[in-house]
Amino acid sequence: MNYRHSFHAGNNADVVKHSLLIALVRALQQKDSALTLIDTHAGCGLYNLFADEARRTGEAAQGVMRAIADTSPLLNDYRAAVMAVNDGDTPHIYPGSPRVLAQLVRPQDNLILNEKHPEDAYTLRSVMRGMPSAIHERDAYELWLAMIPPRTPRGVVVVDPPYEKTDERARITSTLAAASRKWAHGVTVIWYPLKDRAAHRRWKDQLRKIGIVKFLCVEHWLYDDEQPGIFNGSGLFIVNPPYAFTQELPPLLEALRAALAPEGHKGHMTADWLIM
């Protein structure tokens, strides 16, 4: 496993992913009943934006730094989550999904984190010390199925793989199909990169065959035209999103698009139902 998120922490994909994840959990927490939050690919938990790895790519400059400098109040929750792990006005530490989710957990909620990479799992345990969470070092897809349905009345599974393995999308598709049979009303969030539009359309066709009714597809395309072979943006598949989240989504997406659009491009963000 060669992918290390330390090279990409705080990029535009992180901004979109964590902004939407915060909004989703907040919407679910409008009800008092307990939630279990499950992160299948948790990573290290915290990332140094001034470390050699992050400096080498410089991706945070086009992501979190733009979001912090932006003035839209719709990004306030995201900015607060980032600055909660920082001192001063400029972030030097970026919170991965475990630390973002930990900020959202209420006394009645549970947080389950999983990271298979041994070094990252070791770091994650240190980063999460003193916080109410259970940490596993297992195959992500095996854990996904093992942990559902959760013991609490409701839950969210966050699936955020590196997509380095050629069968990653196939494993997601088969595991999601099995998960939907075990936990039909569960909320699932699946992050994915956008590179090849044709390949992405084929994956969507495979996902449609699962037959999930409430399957939202949120996509952030950075560039106004085709950019073959490069990172064009990212998206989230969200299974069974709550009504409160979908109602508040359009203005949040517009705020994110405006904050993150590369120079010379407007970019666009869409939110469509994969299956109606």
| Enclosing domain of residue 215 | 5-275
pLDDT classification of 193: cutoffs 50, 70, 90: very high
> What is the three-class DSSP state of 185?
coil
> What is the three-class DSSP state of 275?
strand
pLDDT classification of 2: cutoffs 50, 70, 90: very low
Least trusted range by pLDDT, from 1-15, 135-149, 150-164, 207-221: 1-15
Catalytic residue among 52, 160, 167, 224: 160
Sort 259 into a burial class: Cβ within 10 Å, 0-12 / 13-18 / 19+.
buried
Q: What is the mean pLDDT of residues 47-71?
A: 87
- DSSP character string of 95-143: E-HHHHHHHH--TT-EEEEE--SHHHHHHHHHHTTTSS-EEE-S-HHHH
pLDDT classification of 265: cutoffs 50, 70, 90: confident
Q: Do 54 and 60 touch, CB atoms closer than 8 A?
A: yes
Alpha-carbon distance of 6 to 103, in angstroms, equals 21
User: Domain count of the chain?
Assistant: 1
- Is 52 one of the catalytic residues? no
Through-space distance between the first and last CA atoms of the chain, rounded to whole angstroms: 37
Q: Mutual orientation of helices 12-28 and 76-83 as an angle, nearest 10°? A: 110
Helices (H), 11-117: 12-28, 52-57, 64-69, 76-83, 97-104
CATH, residue 19: 3.40.50.150
* pLDDT above 50 for 226: yes
* pLDDT above 80 for 57: no
Structure tokens at 65: 């730094």
Query: In this structure, what is the dihedral angle of CA atoms 67, 71, 74, 79, given to the nearest 10 degrees?
Result: 40
For residue 169, the 8-state DSSP code is H
The per-residue pLDDT for 8 is 76
The model's pTM is 0.94
